[in-house]
């Protein structure tokens, strides 16, 4: 499974940012900014962004932690992460990027104040294992933050389903040339445990003393925050 996911992202890496901006109408920037806010990141903090892809959340964290802080973005797909250093440079931000698997992080215990993952946890083979790893590399009292899609209910339910089942695969497939990837992404979002169900996975990981979440845009996305025990 991991290799299939990795090669799918490798295939869409060059078009990922463009498709993302078009399909999300740019709203993902506001979601990332709220993620950084809810993480409680402060100047000087050390942050690990897992499954960083092309690095957007890592850059958002670097803006917050400033020159005294340190941000490391990691992803298991070389082709995705290759785009990140140039974006950091263009934005005048010093961020390190490395290839690493979120389920097997090559970092010592308690190295970071915060570990984050945006739209990545639903792609890993074992989300609880990734949460455990993220909790392991964060100091006691530090935070693990997860930004992930959910399934909106109420008025947004049917328009969103229509959008994700038909428009996303058509537009994403047309721009990237990989329709399968833009069928996989909304399908995994529709199936992924959101809200209380994800909180149950956080509890199962055993690494958090407390956990909470916030719904974004009517439940299209969620931010989960765990405080490492
Ligand atoms: C939908 S993209 C999200 C990228 C970025 N975080 C963002 O918000 O745009 C999912 C990313 O998760 C990465 N990924 C999936 N499984 C992973 C794993 N086990 N370890 C590290 N990265 C992984 C993929 O390579 C891909 O870059």
Q: Is the CB of 60 under 6 A from ligand 1?
A: no
Does residue 190 sit within a domain?
A: no
CATH of the domain at 106: 3.40.50.150
102 CB less than 6 Å from ligand 1?
yes
Alpha-carbon span 3 to 6, nearest angstrom: 5
Is the CB of 52 within 6 Å of ligand 1?
Answer: yes
Whether 222 is in a domain gets the answer yes
Question: What b-and-e string marks burial along 33-69, b requiring 16 or more CB atoms within 10 Å of the CB?
Answer: ebbbebbebeeebbbbbbbbbbbbbbbbbbebbeeeb
CA of 16, closest atom in ligand 1: 9
Residue 1 has what pLDDT?
65
Classify residue 181: in a domain, yes or no.
no
Task: Please tell me if the CB atom of residue 77 comes closer than 6 angstroms to any atom of ligand 1.
Answer: yes
Question: Is the CB of residue 195 less than 8 Å from the CB of residue 171?
Answer: no
Residue 17 lies in a domain: yes
- Across the beta sheet with 221-228, the strand order is 96-99, 70-75, 46-50, 112-118, 138-149, 221-228, 208-216
CA of 119 to the centre of ligand 1 (A): 7
Q: Is residue 30 part of a domain?
A: yes
Residue 170 belongs to some domain of the structure: no
**Distance from the CA of 135 to the center of ligand 1, in angstroms?**
18
In a domain, 135, yes or no: yes
Task: Report the separation in Å between the CA atom of 9 and the middle of ligand 1, taken as the mean of its atom positions.
Answer: 8
Say if ligand 1 is within 6 A of residue 84 CB: no
CA distance 61 to 64: 5
CB of 105 within 6 A of ligand 1: the answer is no
Atom of ligand 1 nearest to the CA of 20: 9
* pLDDT digits (tens), the chain, 229 positions: 699 999 999 999 999 999 988 888 888 999 999 999 999 999 999 999 999 999 999 999 999 999 999 999 999 999 999 999 999 999 999 999 999 999 999 999 999 999 999 999 999 999 999 999 999 999 999 999 999 999 999 999 999 999 999 998 999 899 999 999 999 888 999 999 999 999 999 999 999 999 999 999 999 999 999 999 9
16 is in which domain, residue-wise? 2-151+195-228
156, part of any domain: no
Q: Please list the residues that pair with 71 across neighbouring strands.
A: 47
Query: How many structural domains compose the chain?
Result: 1
């Amino acid at each position: 499974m991991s290799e299939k996911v990795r090669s799918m992202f490798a295939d869409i890496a060059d078009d990922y940012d463009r498709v993302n901006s078009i399909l999300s109408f740019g709203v993902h920037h506001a979601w990332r900014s709220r993620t950084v806010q809810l993480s409680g990141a402060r100047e000087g903090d050390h942050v690990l962004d897992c499954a960083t892809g092309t690095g957007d959340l890592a850059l958002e964290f670097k803006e917050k932690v400033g020159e005294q802080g340190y941000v490391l973005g990691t992803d298991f797909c070389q082709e995705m992460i290759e785009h990140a250093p140039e974006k950091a440079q263009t934005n005048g931000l010093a961020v390190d990027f490395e290839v690493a698997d979120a389920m097997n992080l090559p970092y010592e215990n308690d190295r970071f104040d915060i570990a984050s993952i945006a739209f990545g946890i639903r792609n890993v083979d074992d989300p609880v294992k990734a949460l455990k790893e993220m909790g392991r590399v964060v100091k006691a009292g530090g935070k693990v933050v997860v930004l992930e899609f959910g399934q909106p209910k109420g008025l947004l339910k049917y328009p969103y389903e229509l959008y994700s089942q038909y428009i996303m695969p058509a537009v994403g497939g047309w721009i990237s040339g990989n329709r399968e990837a833009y069928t996989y992404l909304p399908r995994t979002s529709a199936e992924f445990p959101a809200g209380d169900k994800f909180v149950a996975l956080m509890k199962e990981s055993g690494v958090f003393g407390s956990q909470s979440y916030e719904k974004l845009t009517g439940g299209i996305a969620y931010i989960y925050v765990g405080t490492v025990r």
